[in-house]
Homo-oligomer: A and B are copies of this chain.
Amino acid sequence: MSETAHVREVGPRDGIQMVKTMLTTERKLAWCRGAAAAGIGEIEVTSFVPPKVIAQFADAEEVARGALTIGGFRPSVLVPNLKGAERAFALGLPQVNYVLSASEAHNLANVRRGTEESLVDFGRIAALRDQRSGPRIALASGIATAFGCTISGAVDEGRVVEIARRLVDMGADEIIVADTVGYGDPGQVRRLLKAVIAAVGRVRVSCHFHDTRGLGLANVTAALETGVRTFDASLAGLGGCPFAPGATGNIDTEDTVFLLEQLGFDTGVDLDRLIALRREVESWLPGERFSGAIARAGLPKTYRHARAA
């Protein structure tokens, strides 16, 4: 029996927040349906930012509602504040992903308030979650710019650990350590993830890497060594943060699955089906830059799905 590792598809959220084409709700749901059919177990399906901030997510409610009817995967949504969380809670989603930035400057640019204010807001969201009746909603929080910031430069590792601890103390069920701008390297990943896991041990710690400077998959490899088993990724390597110049490119979902399977982890994903879905998504987004090596070079002759090994 292989150990399991999880790839969370964030393409319908992070992947499309900067693309030129407005995807229809139906295509966003087809993306979710296709990824689930290929074996992806978690998908961040949309973002509950105000529609006037990112028009691509004006149909967030419809996408979330539609995603809930597909089945076979755990849908989550991104929320930047209490208002977004209220909208997400109302729909009965099983998981809601909050985000704040370790870098004060990035937090100000991204959500127009300081990191401490964002932490206080998370406390309100967690309290609201706890007051609700019905099935418990899992609350994750991303810590953006955890490895450095394009605006302010270096980010203190102790500050990231402190933020993680406070989020968990307030009720976070998962900490998503995010290299929003692609500054992290494998040494930094090993150090920071070890420290975060030691500080918040009992909750899931996952990673959200961008491949901006080519180290995305090296960073996944390093994070695996610290015990991380869940990684955000985007089909065709789409993605980027509107307030982090040069941040383009989440790690590519297909390549991440390939790496994990090669290392003997069972991702549950059928790479051929995933690559077919990628081709479809590419056809919907004319003029975008797609990345990822497996879709170009093909699987090695020696490739075997870990589950089959």
* Contact surface of A with B, Cβ cutoff 8 Å: 148-150, 153-154, 181-183, 185-188, 211-215, 217-218, 220-222, 246, 248, 252, 255, 258-259, 262-264, 292-294, 297-298, 300-302
Interface residue from B211, B259, B292, B297 paired with A182 (Cβ < 8 Å) = B297
- Inter-subunit contact A187/B293 (CB<8 Å): no
Given A217-B217, A217-B218, A218-B220, CB of A185 within 8 Å of CB of B263: yes
A186 contact set on B, CB distance < 8 A: 221, 259, 263
Docked Cα-Cα span, A298 to B220, in Å, equals 21
Given A185-B262, A187-B262, CB of A212 within 8 Å of CB of B297: yes
Interface residue from B185, B221, B293 paired with A222 (Cβ < 8 Å) = B221
- Inter-subunit contact A187/B264 (CB<8 Å): yes
A215 contact set on B, CB distance < 8 A: 217, 255, 258-259, 262, 293
Docked Cα-Cα span, A214 to B292, in Å, equals 7
CB distance from A227 to the nearest CB of B (A): 16
Excluding A183-B302, A212-B297, A214-B294, 8 further A-B contacts by CB distance (< 8 Å) are A154-B302, A181-B300, A185-B262, A186-B221, A186-B259, A214-B217, A214-B252, A215-B262
A298 contact set on B, CB distance < 8 A: 246
A214 contact set on B, CB distance < 8 A: 217, 252, 255, 258-259, 292-294
Given A218-B221, A246-B298, CB of A259 within 8 Å of CB of B212: no
Closest to A186 in B: B221
- Inter-subunit contact B153/A301 (CB<8 Å): yes
A262 contact set on B, CB distance < 8 A: 185, 187-188, 215
